[in-house]
Amino acid sequence: MRRQADLSDLAVVVDESLAGCLVATVEGVEEERIELALGDLRFEGRCAFSCLVVPRAGDIVSVVSRQGRHYVTAVLERAEPGELELFSQRAIAVRSAADVRVLATTNLELGAGREIRLRSPLLEAMVGRLVAFAKAVRVTTGDALLHSKLARLCAELIDVAAQRIGVSAEHSYRQIDGTEQVRCRHFDLRAGDVAHLRAQTTLVKAKDLVKVDAAQIQLG
């Protein structure tokens, strides 16, 4: 590789197979075109395939020139504050034979135009608060166990299809403003102490038999 004797001018490399290494300043970026300055000389370049950092105006970058083309290989310095942007025209795969950690001091945001997939034998999440908004949720699991001190579910429509539902609680309260309907083959209601049925109008209908069995029955 031939070094430039005078950085204020681009020397002509006789052998086009050789490449020259320069340090230039970014004056502007427009899509894939990068405006570069080297002293009084102005020329255009583009990011090298392995350079994922998007250059900005004012950056000091390293440039490799070969066969009349200029490639920004790395961003050396950036004086202006702001976020660092990584970009690639192709899909990116990150692989490691060991662990991979992603740490953020403040916020961590993931966004995808179509879908986000997580695949693992174990998914563990430890959060102080979980907020989720979804148009549709579908979960298929063999065993689901939830331990929560307080859980609230707010929804306009909930459909539950299960072979068995069991609820064990110290106290249970349910308030329904509209109509509540129960359709089943057998209905068994048991109270260990007192059972109250209160309404302005109460109707008890049976096709075959209505039976009230008690040691004492009071009407009125």
Q: Do strands 69-77 and 41-47 pair parallel, antiparallel, or not at all (unpaired)?
A: parallel
Q: What is the pLDDT of residue 12?
A: 42
Residue 42 domain-assigned (yes or no): yes
Residue 102 domain-assigned (yes or no): no
Structural domain including 50 reads 20-77
Q: What is the pLDDT of residue 2?
A: 38
pLDDT band, residue 18 (cuts 50/70/90): low
Residue 53 domain-assigned (yes or no): yes
CATH number of the structural domain spanning residue 72: 2.40.50.140
Q: What is the 3-state secondary structure (H, E, C) of 45-102?
A: EEECCCCCECCCCCCEEEEEEECCEEEEEEEEECCCCCCCCECCCCCCCCCCCCCCCC
Express each pLDDT in 105-128 by its tens digit: 998 898 998 888 888 888 888 888
- pLDDT of residue 200 exceeding 70: yes
How far apart are alpha carbons 23 and 38 in whole angstroms? 8
User: Could you give the C-alpha distances from 147 to 1, 121, 151, in angstroms and in order?
Assistant: 65, 20, 9
Both tokens of residue 88? Answer: 């690639």
Residue 39 domain-assigned (yes or no): yes
Average pLDDT of 29-45? 90
How far apart are alpha carbons 55 and 25 in whole angstroms? 10
Express each pLDDT in 64-107 by its tens digit: 988 888 999 999 999 888 888 888 888 989 899 999 999 999 98
What total number of domains does the chain contain? 1
Q: Do strands 20-30 and 41-47 pair parallel, antiparallel, or not at all (unpaired)?
A: unpaired
Residue 25 domain-assigned (yes or no): yes
Express each pLDDT in 179-198 by its tens digit: 999 999 998 988 888 888 88
Q: What is the pLDDT of residue 156?
A: 81
Q: Is 115 exposed, middle or buried (0-12, 13-18, 19+ CB in 10 A)?
A: exposed
Q: Is 52 exposed, middle or buried (0-12, 13-18, 19+ CB in 10 A)?
A: middle
Q: What is the pLDDT of residue 132?
A: 82
- pLDDT of residue 146 exceeding 70: yes
- pLDDT of residue 5 exceeding 80: no
Q: What is the pLDDT of residue 19?
A: 61
Element (H, E) at 27: strand 20-30
Beta carbons of 29 and 36 less than 8 angstroms apart? no
- pLDDT of residue 1 exceeding 70: no
Of 11-15, 58-62, 216-220, minimum mean pLDDT range: 11-15
Q: What is the pLDDT of residue 192?
A: 86
Express each pLDDT in 44-53 by its tens digit: 999 999 899 9
B/e letters for 20-46, b = 16+ CB within 10 Å, e = fewer, are: bebebebeebeeeebbbebeeeebebe
Element (H, E) at 219: none
Residue 47 domain-assigned (yes or no): yes
Residue 150 domain-assigned (yes or no): no
Q: What is the pLDDT of residue 31?
A: 85
How far apart are alpha carbons 7 and 25 in whole angstroms? 12
Q: Highest mean pLDDT: which of 12-21, 48-57, 131-140, 155-164?
A: 48-57
Q: What is the pLDDT of residue 37?
A: 92
183 contact partners, CB below 8 Å, separation of at least 6: none
Residue 152 domain-assigned (yes or no): no
